[in-house]
Structure 1
Amino acid sequence: MNSVCKRLCGMIFTAATVSGVAAAAQAEPGTPALAPTRLDRLHDYLSHATDARGYLGGVSLIMRDGVIVDWRAYGYRDLARHKPMRKDDIFRIYSMTKTVASVAVMMLVEEGKITLEDPLSRYLPGFDAPQVMTGGTAEHPTLRSASKPITLHALITHTAGYPAGLKGDEEAVKRMERVDPHGARDLRDFAERMSHVALAADPDTRFGYDGASIELLARVVEVVSGKSFDAFLRERIFTPLQMKDTGFTVPASQRDRIVDLTTMDDRGHLAIADTASAKHPGERLNGYDSGAGGLYSTAGDYARFAQMLLNGGSLDGQQLLGRKTVELMLQNHLTMLSPPVTQFSQAEGFGIGGLVVIDAARRGQLGSNGQYGWTGAASTYYSIDPKEHLVAILMLQHLPREGVKDLPRISRNFYDLVYQTLP
């Protein structure tokens, strides 16, 4: 059992009681993975960010060279602030699920069961003649045939052209909402509903971040594998990686570990969010196995998943993906666009399952070109940096709101504070 497994499966708790990184530095002779005195800046910042006026609490975890060098819990996990946050507490990770779903797709690519250039219509009915909405209203749209088929590659890179809230998408979004794909009872039903949705742009002509594309890929995984998406993830990813606290639901016996999901109310006070999983922690975030945003997980579990990717597809003797597959995932796939960037940043492209930093200087925060990662809607973040052999994870549990004085977004500060610790 190597050092990664030992620390994630138990030894880290012993190290943590002896002041975390100091114990890790003693256990690993030579230059420390992080500058211990500079870690105080990160700890002080997150302690302040989770004080009585901030987030309820959070968990941060940093790995360097395959070893956990810092793993801490801050604040509380309940709105009453009575239950201190623990390192193994459970979070709703929302869109960090997308990277997991992307790994599932790439497993099928490696097995020769699909290719990324396959048309979606090869696997799902109703997608053989996609249409683009060019004008009109949701009730009376103007439609034309799409210039090309929707491919699996377009779905996994968010370039399929589905309505994504971009400028000009308003009526297309309304039209999609009429079929209510997110009200589906399962992924088969979701795909059937989406077969009636018009695109907002031709495939491969723009990046438009959306969840529907990944849900369709989750359904492809079901069709091709012959298993439910939940079963596929458990058997092929979670069990091999010992991600015992990751899933679409949380067992009743473990639900006391779930962190309260907050949002800001109209008076500027934290309140429990108005979602089913916030009101009933541990229940499904969606009515179906959402590959776009349905998972619960922990910092420790997701660290194992992220380290697997950083290792080139393997961890503790378990080979989930080949090295070249992971290399492909971590490259910018938006090169057909000009500029080849996302709707969020002129310094970031998109790979398979996450952003790829292509201009660290223009991005304006500490990091590296080639850095990869993603976020979740409820303030969860992860990044892997192949150049620095680094994994950084921050788990909070707050749904931001526009139009009110909300808590500050702290991911940029977090990553700056992580990178300034590198010796």
Structure 2
Amino acid sequence: MDGYVESGKIPGIVTLVSRRGEVVVDAFGKQSLGGGSMRRDSIFRISSMTKPIVAAAAMILVEECKLRLNDRIDDLLPELADRKVLRRIDSPLDDTVPANRPITLRDLLTFKLGIGIVMAPPGLYPIQIALDEAGLTPGPNPLKVAPDEYMSRLGRLPLIHQPGEKWMYHLGSDILGILVARASGQSLEQFLHTRLFAPLGMKDTGFHVPAEKLNRFTSSYMAGKETGELAVHDEASASRWAEPPLFPSGGGGLVSTVDDYLAFCQMMLDKGVHNGERILSRPSIELMITDHLTPEQKADARIFFGEHSGWGFGLAVNTRRVDLATVPGRFGWDGGIGTTAYTDPVEGVIGILMTQRLMESPEPPGVFLDFWTSAYQSIDD
């Protein structure tokens, strides 16, 4: 890992590997270019590593019978009632047919609600343009729209596919966060803090970084368009994450540390229990980490899943071993601003890597691959 810092590819890295009670953490490089040294408790934008946390929050409400997996969600999200569906992905927005059925909570959790990120060049299809013009296109920066307005704008657009038909990335988690808030009667951050962060001791996890913690916040970087050298994406000292967001994104809004995220992963590995306190039941955890996609749905999303993974509730599940780390049953996800975390029940391994360099494609960058190879090559029993 140190080689990535020395080469200038990444300003700083924190790694954590846990196995059967032993935890090893290393910090390399700087929190920002020219700034202070990276620390074990440095705070990172974990982006899409938010998704498993919000899925777990939804399952808490399922266990309390405040939500049901197969119930239609338009009682709480009336903006999604009576959906229209495009005849084809390249259809004009008014070339639609009625949805075959309502959207369910299960659809949100498995990303089969019928709308999400279109993996095509920007502006290729009318629905892409409409999502962008409505301010709903996800990216590395917080959305500038409040949750109720988000739903209002989304409700004016058709679905791309029939509910349950195709897997489409991301929007399901953003909608899920709004559903959790409405079902619980709390803001998403309040519910996450009360039911997950406080019980798990995740003291540095939230949707923004308070002023007293900004000295531990990392700056984030991306590849420059012309030279390829690092360019600033978000400077910690003037960060977009320094204030509570207008839209607390269930798909990618959280900041966290390696130790905070370890607490969440360890709870998942321990079948829903943390320090003797039950957060979720074992059946809920097992349902979350089961692959819920058909072979055809995975084939359509090969850029995300390759030949080795599927999708559970808010996270990927390895289904086939194709390298050292893809152990069947291993689960987790990556964050687009340069983080990755997976939990392996077979080997008892939890691995977390946090960097500040934005990913340039859905395929994992070299630093992710090398981290996982290094972690798994060390297993000798």
Contact 2:50 2:250 in 1 (8 A): yes
Matched residue type, 2:249: S
1:186 pairs, out of 136, 142, 146, with 146
Q: How big is the shift at 1:411? A: 1.0
Q: How big is the shift at 1:147? A: 1.8
Contact 1:187 1:215 in 2 (8 A): no
Provide, for residues 127-169 of structure 1, a one-character-per-residue CA deviation record: whole Å limited to 9, x for no partner.
Answer: 2211112259786541111222111111111111104213597
| Alignment correspondent of 2:29 | 75
Q: How big is the shift at 1:319? A: 1.2
1:255 pairs, out of 200, 206, 214, with 214
| Alignment correspondent of 1:147 | 100
Q: 1:219 to 1:50 in 2, by over 3 A?
A: same
| Alignment correspondent of 1:244 | 203
Q: 1:353 to 1:284 in 2, by over 3 A?
A: farther
Q: Taking every aligned residue pair, what percent have the same amino acid on both sides?
A: 30
- Root-mean-square deviation (Å): 2.3
Q: 1:400 to 1:356 in 2, by over 3 A?
A: closer
2:271 pairs, out of 309, 312, 325, with 312
CA distance in 2, matches of 1:171, 1:129: 21
Contact 2:214 2:236 in 1 (8 A): no
| Alignment correspondent of 2:164 | 204
Q: How big is the shift at 1:181? A: 3.1
Classify the secondary structure of the residue corresponding to 1:126: helix
Q: 1:132 to 1:284 in 2, by over 3 A?
A: farther
| Alignment correspondent of 1:12 | none
Q: 1:386 to 1:136 in 2, by over 3 A?
A: closer
| Alignment correspondent of 1:347 | 308
Q: How big is the shift at 1:170? A: 2.5
1:8-407 counterparts in 2 under 5 A?
46-65=1-20, 67-80=21-34, 82-135=35-88, 141-166=94-119, 170-181=125-136, 183=143, 185-210=145-170, 212-265=171-224, 266-273=226-233, 275=234, 279-280=238-239, 282-284=241-243, 286-335=245-294, 337=296, 342-343=301-302, 344=304, 345-361=306-322, 364-401=323-360
Classify the secondary structure of the residue corresponding to 1:61: strand
Classify the secondary structure of the residue corresponding to 1:412: helix
Provide, for residues 215-269 of structure 1, a one-character-per-residue CA deviation record: whole Å limited to 9, x for no partner.
Answer: 2111111111111111001111111111000011111011011111011222222
CA distance in 2, matches of 1:240, 1:246: 12
Matched residue type, 2:177: A
Q: How big is the shift at 1:98? A: 0.7
| Alignment correspondent of 1:5 | none
CA distance in 2, matches of 1:390, 1:277: 31
Classify the secondary structure of the residue corresponding to 1:240: helix
Classify the secondary structure of the residue corresponding to 1:176: helix
Which structure carries more relative contact order (alpha carbon 8 Å, separation 6+)? 2
Contact 1:77 1:260 in 2 (8 A): yes
CA distance in 2, matches of 1:255, 1:296: 12
Contact 2:93 2:127 in 1 (8 A): no
Classify the secondary structure of the residue corresponding to 2:379: coil
Please, what TM-score do these two structures have when normalized by structure 1?
0.81
Q: 1:129 to 1:108 in 2, by over 3 A?
A: same
Q: 1:383 to 1:234 in 2, by over 3 A?
A: same
Q: How many residues align?
A: 368
Q: In terms of Rg, which structure is larger?
A: 1
Contact 1:367 1:419 in 2 (8 A): no
CA distance in 2, matches of 1:136, 1:337: 17
Provide, for residues 320-347 of structure 1, a one-character-per-residue CA deviation record: whole Å limited to 9, x for no partner.
Answer: 1001100111100113846578442232
Q: Which runs of 5+ in 2 are unaligned?
A: 138-142
Contact 2:210 2:243 in 1 (8 A): no
Q: How big is the shift at 1:304? A: 0.6
Please, what TM-score do these two structures have when normalized by structure 2?
0.90
Moved more, 136-145 or 325-334: 136-145
CA distance in 2, matches of 1:277, 1:123: 37
Classify the secondary structure of the residue corresponding to 2:199: coil
Q: Which runs of 5+ in 1 are unaligned?
A: 1-45
Contact 1:94 1:292 in 2 (8 A): yes
